[in-house]
Structure 1
Amino acid sequence: MRGRKITSADVAARAGVSQSAVSRVFTPGASASPRTVQKVRKAAAELGYRPNVIARTMASGRSRIIGLVVAYLDNYFYPEALEKLSKLLQDRGYHVLLFMASQTAENVDDIVERILDHQVDGIVAASAGLGSELSARCRAAGVPVVLFNRSQDDPSLSAVTSDNVAGGRRVAEFLLAGGHGRIAYIAGWEGASTQRDREFGFLAGLARGGAALHSRAAGEFRLETARTAARVLFAGPDRPDAVFVANDHMAFGVMDVLRHELGLSVPGDVSVVGYDDVPPAAWPAYDLTTVRQAATRMVAETVAILIDQIEQACDEPRRIAISADLRVRGSARVPAGWSR
């Protein structure tokens, strides 16, 4: 067979099975007996056969490709979550194509057009939003879209997030219980639903406890911008005694400024709380009190919705907000009755 392309017919002949049996072995979700799988894979390895994925998907009418739109990967939360998402989709027989968009969605139109050109079966938009016109275009093309860690007002879009409102409210309750009276907030990017909902819950929690926000600055979910925000907030004599930072990525920069530039003690002079519970939050260098996003559950719900819409033609939009717990560590004063 040297000099020519090995085919499924060659594998079938070597394994002593039908060509359709070879096809079933290499088709995700198709059934074949363990003995048949073993024989076919052994013959394929001996012959150096690789199935033609493109031909198979063209025959099935599905590409089994999911377009994944991501605005930025600086935040530790996204690489970890996207690894889980990619693996779970691969386990279901799908392949992932990653597309980078700007955080402000300036180039999302072009990116969605490119995604649709790849004949994807579905789209997951993580940390990036789609306008109503774009979502309508995807629906017209029969391509379901699920938003991950982001929501929009468009009622036709499915979305999976943590319960950001409840998480923000929990932070306010925690800081007030710790006796803080000058509580600040460093916001993320103003156009993000995660930012909006976390701040809404936080302010509602403060108001419920009879307190008001002492000061506020915008960090835009960017490390250096958050550092600048911290310098501004803590420059004067009436500095905050606690600060809630809209995600851990920014909180690390804020803590570095407080400790190493301004000489403040965390939590002796100021308590710091973040949101996400990314791996470095538990490192001794930060020991950050933070709201934990359940990435594994969020990924599982996202994939379940997407697969239902692709394989079961379930077009009913679903909105899921998964509860988020406060992880109490050493960056904030621990109120009486709260355990670490």
Structure 2
Amino acid sequence: MKKRRVTSTDVARKAGVSQSAVSRTFSPWPTQSGVSAEIREKVLRAAKELGYQPNAIARSLITQRSRIVGVLFSYLDNPFYARALELLCHGLQARGYHALVFMMSDTLQDIDSTVSDILQYQVDGLLTASVELSSKLCIECTERGIPVVMFNRTQDDPGLSAVTTDNIGGGRLAAKALLDAGCERLAVLAGWEGASTSRDREFGFRAELHARGAELFERANGNFNLEDTAQATRAFFKDRNPAERPDALFVINDYMAIRAMDVIRNELGLRIPEDVSVVGFDDISTAAQPTYGLTTVRQPINRMVEASLRLLFEQIEDSAAQPEHVMLGAQLVERHSVRRKSSP
């Protein structure tokens, strides 16, 4: 015979308090519950003896809040996004919320279908990272009153909040570092063409080259994929004379840059930075390891997560809160993958 579930009424009866006192004791906002220390102790003792656990689903029906936030990622291979997910989940839990994590492909059609499924869970908001959203989906979320915050992505939609690094400015920093080092044949290893991060970083890189009277020597796509990155790197350097190959490589993120460096050194036998200088973007932990010493453009990931959560909860708690685009400054971190400019 199935054992009957213990209810808050049972706990109230055993503790000798009202049912509302039990509800307030287990409220996600304990500092606002108005329960004295004595009553709280009675309730918790009775709950432990009876084996009671509060029903979050039942509470959500009363409060009209699921206290669940949908978190969308296309991939976690890149350590930058794995770290972002960890920080986002901790930040949500600290506020009494939980993450409902979904992985999806990069295609907008699949994303629309998956998010439609997520919305059935009555999530209080959506955080998206490494995901491009269609305008159709954004309109659907807005009409349902569901706040959406894009992390490390952006699009031209004033009704959508986004938090990014200054990717264009960061691309300019990368170009400046390579030009200041005396590099002349600068190439770009881009990411997925649909990603705003890749487009903006490359735009900034090209803009700085143009401002300095230089031209892009060569370009290829790594598609945020290690095998595509390896193939593109081989195409840049394999079986080519020094004057016919790049002497500098800007890779759109560190995840791809690390793979490119391995191919350059271990497969092609070239030296970094003597034969080719390399700059990445993100500043993942691997970039700082002595094996790589990758010069890169740092994204302030902690501040990005904090800003994303702030925007999300402002809109959850106040339906009149206006969407906002937060852009944080990028910083060049110099290590030893870029050659030093020779003295005149």
Superposition TM-score, scaled by structure 1 size: 0.94
SS of corresponding position for 1:291: strand
For 1:28, the equivalent position in structure 2 comes to 28
Q: How does 1:19-98 map to 2 (within 5 A)?
A: 19-30=19-30, 31-32=32-33, 35=37, 36-98=39-101
- CA deviation after TM superposition for structure 1 residue 80, in Å: 0.5
- CA deviation after TM superposition for structure 1 residue 105, in Å: 2.4
SS of corresponding position for 2:188: strand
**Residue 130 of structure 1 pairs with residue 125 of structure 2:** no
Change (3 A) 1:221 1:20: same
For 1:240, the equivalent position in structure 2 comes to 246
User: Of 208, 211, 226, which aligns to 2:214?
Assistant: 211
> Is contact 1:174-1:335 (8 Å) kept?
no
Aligned length: 336
- CA deviation after TM superposition for structure 1 residue 252, in Å: 1.0
User: Of 310, 313, 321, which aligns to 1:307?
Assistant: 313
The AA in structure 1 aligned to 2:25 is V
Q: Deviations over 1:306-333 (max 9, x none)?
A: 1111111134220111111111112222
- CA deviation after TM superposition for structure 1 residue 135, in Å: 0.9
Change (3 A) 1:45 1:334: farther
Q: Deviations over 1:119-151 (max 9, x none)?
A: 111111111122111111111111111111100
For 1:326, the equivalent position in structure 2 comes to 332
Change (3 A) 1:46 1:245: same
SS of corresponding position for 1:330: coil
The AA in structure 2 aligned to 1:188 is G
- CA deviation after TM superposition for structure 1 residue 46, in Å: 3.0
Q: Which runs of 5+ in 2 are unaligned?
A: none
**Percentage identity across paired residues of the two chains:** 53
SS of corresponding position for 1:211: coil
User: Of 179, 183, 193, which aligns to 1:190?
Assistant: 193
SS of corresponding position for 1:165: helix
Change (3 A) 1:50 1:231: same
Change (3 A) 1:37 1:281: farther
Taking the aligned partners of 1:73 and 1:288, their CA distance within structure 2 comes to 21
> Is contact 2:145-2:319 (8 Å) kept?
no
Q: Deviations over 1:69-126 (max 9, x none)?
A: 1111111111100110111111111111111121232301111110111111111111
Q: Which runs of 5+ in 1 are unaligned?
A: none
User: Of 253, 263, 267, which aligns to 1:257?
Assistant: 263
Change (3 A) 1:49 1:246: same
SS of corresponding position for 2:108: coil
SS of corresponding position for 1:107: helix
**Residue 5 of structure 1 pairs with residue 22 of structure 2:** no
For 1:268, the equivalent position in structure 2 comes to 274
Taking the aligned partners of 1:239 and 1:34, their CA distance within structure 2 comes to 74
Superposition TM-score, scaled by structure 2 size: 0.93
Taking the aligned partners of 2:228 and 2:16, their CA distance within structure 1 comes to 65
Over the aligned positions, Cα root-mean-square deviation in angstroms equals 1.9
Taking the aligned partners of 2:293 and 2:17, their CA distance within structure 1 comes to 59
**Residue 175 of structure 1 pairs with residue 178 of structure 2:** yes
The AA in structure 2 aligned to 1:208 is A
Change (3 A) 1:5 1:213: same
For 2:146, the equivalent position in structure 1 comes to 143
The AA in structure 1 aligned to 2:11 is V
SS of corresponding position for 1:228: helix
- CA deviation after TM superposition for structure 1 residue 192, in Å: 0.7
SS of corresponding position for 1:67: strand
Change (3 A) 1:22 1:166: same
Q: Deviations over 1:186-219 (max 9, x none)?
A: 0011111000110011111112222111111111
- CA deviation after TM superposition for structure 1 residue 38, in Å: 4.3
- CA deviation after TM superposition for structure 1 residue 4, in Å: 3.2
